[in-house]
Amino acid sequence: MKTNKSMKLIISLLMLFNIVGIAGVSAAQVQGVTVKVNNKNVTFPDAKPYTEGDRVMIPIRFVSEALGANVGYSKERVVTVQQGDKKITMKVNSTSVVVDTVIKKLDVPARLQQSRVFVPLRFVSEALGAQVGWDQKQRIVSITTDTKKPVDNGSQQPNKDFGWNQENKDLGKVLFVDNISLTNGVVTFTLPKDVKGTYYNPGGGSLLTPGNKYTFAVGQGKGFVSFSMVDPTNAFWENFSVIFDVQDSNLVRDFSEHKKDAVVKNGDNESLLSEVIKAAQSLK
């Protein structure tokens, strides 16, 4: 599975945390600042970047997902960013960050604002192996990554068993079991109760409403939806992205022969939506 790494790879640190922002932090929204990942705009549907000192603070979920990472948040207010084998953990209001096993210090700690966790843009981008540039005249933050795809050796076929586990099975059940459908290149679903959903496309983003039914056509440039839900123990967030463009340039696997399908991404796992729907029957 995989989203426009710029959009999902915006995608899509999708719909964080139902928690109240901290008080007492002097923050000013960044006016007229555009954030791009691999030359594609990152959409911030609600909470916007702001400045603290000389640092640009960004909602961690949106940009991290745009960089191809998976984001989690625990009841201890610890943020986890996972990208492949690389793992970053940080606690809200702390300047200490653990990158794999190395402890690093931030000039500005992670913050809670507008029900989102914010972190310094440059640190997260560089910690995830990206390059960050700043165009003062146009007020554009540019984040670039190595977009080369690994060579497909023929072994990357659609998963027969999606691999449900403690960190995805509850959201997987309410989202994929007898809910989401794929018919003739059209994805239809009802956003489950207690699930956060955000639709991203090249033109922007919009929040979805639980209980409402949605229909999206698949195809080039059709965007993706990011889903997240806190698990029943309130210990972490479960996340999925459904990408409607199987030829998204940021997808690791090659799904180009399945143009009437969509791709589901969960962490490093990428699978065709049709296969995930079948695999979800085991969750009944």
Q: Is residue 7 part of a domain?
A: no
pLDDT: which is higher, 46 or 259 = 259
pLDDT for 55 beyond 80: no
CATH number for the domain spanning 49: value is 3.30.457.10
Per the rule left: phi > 0, alpha: psi between -120 and 50, beta: everything else, 60 is alpha
Q: What's the pLDDT band for 155 if we cut at 50, 70, 90?
A: very low
Domain that holds residue 124: 28-144
Do 135 and 34 belong together in one domain?
yes
**According to DSSP H, which parts of the chain are helical?**
60-66, 121-127, 169-176, 273-279
Q: What's the pLDDT band for 51 if we cut at 50, 70, 90?
A: confident
- Report pLDDT for 264: 92
User: Among candidates 49, 46, 37, 70, which has minimal Cα distance to 202?
Assistant: 37
Q: Is residue 156 part of a domain?
A: no
**Among the ranges 64-68, 120-124, 151-155, 193-197, which has the highest mean pLDDT value?**
193-197
Do 137 and 177 belong together in one domain?
no
Hey, what are 196's tokens? 């956060």
Q: Is residue 267 part of a domain?
A: yes
Structural domain count of the chain:
2
Q: Is residue 249 part of a domain?
A: yes
Do 178 and 103 belong together in one domain?
no
Q: Which phi and psi (to 5°) does residue 270 adopt?
A: -125, 125
Task: Report the sign of the C-alpha dihedral through residues 93, 206, 261, 4, in that order.
Answer: negative
pLDDT for 254 beyond 50: yes
Which residues are bridge partners to 230 per DSSP?
Answer: 237
Do 210 and 122 belong together in one domain?
no
User: How does pLDDT run across 168-209, given as a tens digit for each residue?
Assistant: 788 899 999 999 999 999 999 999 998 988 888 776 678 899
Distance of alpha carbon 262 from alpha carbon 199, whole angstroms: 14
* DSSP count for the chain of H helices, then E strands: 4, 23
pLDDT: which is higher, 141 or 219 = 219
Which residues are bridge partners to 271 per DSSP?
Answer: 264
Q: Is residue 215 part of a domain?
A: yes
Q: What's the pLDDT band for 84 if we cut at 50, 70, 90?
A: confident
Give Cα 61 distance to the centre of its chain.
6
Q: Is residue 12 part of a domain?
A: no
Instruction: Supply the DSSP string of 203-262, one letter for each residue.
Output: TEEEE--TT-EEEEE-STT--EEEEEEE-TTSS-EEEEEEES-TT-TT-SS--TT-TTS-
Q: Is residue 265 part of a domain?
A: yes
Q: Is residue 227 part of a domain?
A: yes
User: pTM for the whole thing?
Assistant: 0.56
Do 86 and 140 belong together in one domain?
yes
- Report pLDDT for 181: 96
pLDDT for 273 beyond 90: yes
Q: What's the pLDDT band for 20 if we cut at 50, 70, 90?
A: very low
- Report pLDDT for 149: 46
Do 93 and 178 belong together in one domain?
no
User: Among candidates 211, 163, 145, which has minimal Cα distance to 5?
Assistant: 145
Q: How many CB atoms lie within 10 A of CB 73?
A: 23
Q: What is the mean pLDDT of the chain?
A: 76
Do 104 and 182 belong together in one domain?
no
